[in-house]
Every structure is written in C-alpha cells, then in structure tokens.
C-alpha cells in the first residue's frame, strides 16, 4: 500500500536527485556526462544517484556505445500520484472550500 510510495518518496527526498530528475523531465534523455556537468558533484556521485532513481523506477537507462543514456520513466511517478489522490482527496476538498470561503469573505 504505502510500501510502493516508499522508494519513490525516498528517491525524491534528496535535492540533488530531484534536480537530476527534473532536468531529465525538462531536457529529455541525457548521458551521464551531460548530467554531471551542471551538478556540483562528481561523476560517481551522479551515477549513484541515477542508480537510486533507477531502482525506484523513476528513470531508465539505455546503453549506446560507451555512453549510457538516462531518461524519465513516466510510470515511476505513479505511486506518488496514487498516494496524493488517496490521502489528498479530503484535503483538496477542504482546501477548495476554504479558498471559496476566503473569496466570499473578501467580497
């Protein structure tokens, strides 16, 4: 249940890792070398982070010659989306009703 979201949350909790993921989302498939540039950390660090993202199902890799290309794996965000919709259903309502209340009070 909540176990599925576990690796996902853990993987995205680290800022460096989230930055890598976001970059892959924005820029599409990139090699490790490309990703290393733009980060303040070493190549091994990037590789380790990518490994964690990969085992969390958030990215996939593809070998092409001596380079390895990483890209976002869309379904990887599923556990997060599920969790959000599950435990977010009630608060979204409350938030919406709060907002409409504030708007009404503002008038």
Partner DNA sequence: ACAACATATAACCGTTTGGTTATGAGTTAT
Partner DNA sequence: ATAACTCATAACCAAACGGTTATATGTTGT
For a second copy (CB under 8 A), the number of binding residues is 29
Q: Whose CA is closest to 67, among 24, 29, 19, 39?
A: 29
Q: Binding to a second copy by residue 105, rule CB under 8 A? A: no
- By CB under 7 A, name the one of 51, 62, 93, 98 that touches DNA: 51
C-alpha distances out from residue 56 to 15, 37, 44, 77, 86, Å: 16, 23, 18, 10, 20
- By CB under 7 A, name the one of 5, 12, 24, 50 that touches DNA: 50
Q: Which is nearer to a second copy, 4 or 45 (CB)?
A: 4
Strand partners, 68: 63
Q: How many helices (H) and strands (E) does the chain have?
A: 5, 3
With CB under 5 to 8 Å by kind, the binding choice for 16 among a second copy, DNA, none is: DNA
With CB under 5 to 8 Å by kind, the binding choice for 49 among a second copy, DNA, none is: DNA
Q: Binding to DNA by residue 67, rule CB under 7 A? A: yes
Q: Whose CA is closest to 30, among 57, 67, 58?
A: 67
Q: Binding to DNA by residue 68, rule CB under 7 A? A: yes
């Amino acid at each position: 249940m909540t176990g599925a979201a576990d690796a996902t949350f853990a993987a995205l909790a680290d800022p460096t890792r989230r930055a890598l993921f976001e970059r892959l989302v924005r820029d599409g498939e990139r090699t490790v070398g490309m990703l290393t540039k733009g980060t303040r950390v070493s190549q091994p660090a990037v590789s380790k982070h990518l490994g964690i993202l990969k085992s969390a199902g958030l990215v996939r890799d593809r070998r092409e010659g001596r380079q390895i290309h990483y890209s976002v794996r869309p379904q990887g965000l599923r556990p997060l989306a599920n969790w959000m919709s599950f435990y977010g259903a009630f608060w979204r309502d409350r938030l919406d009703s709060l907002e409409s209340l504030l708007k009404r009070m503002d008038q």
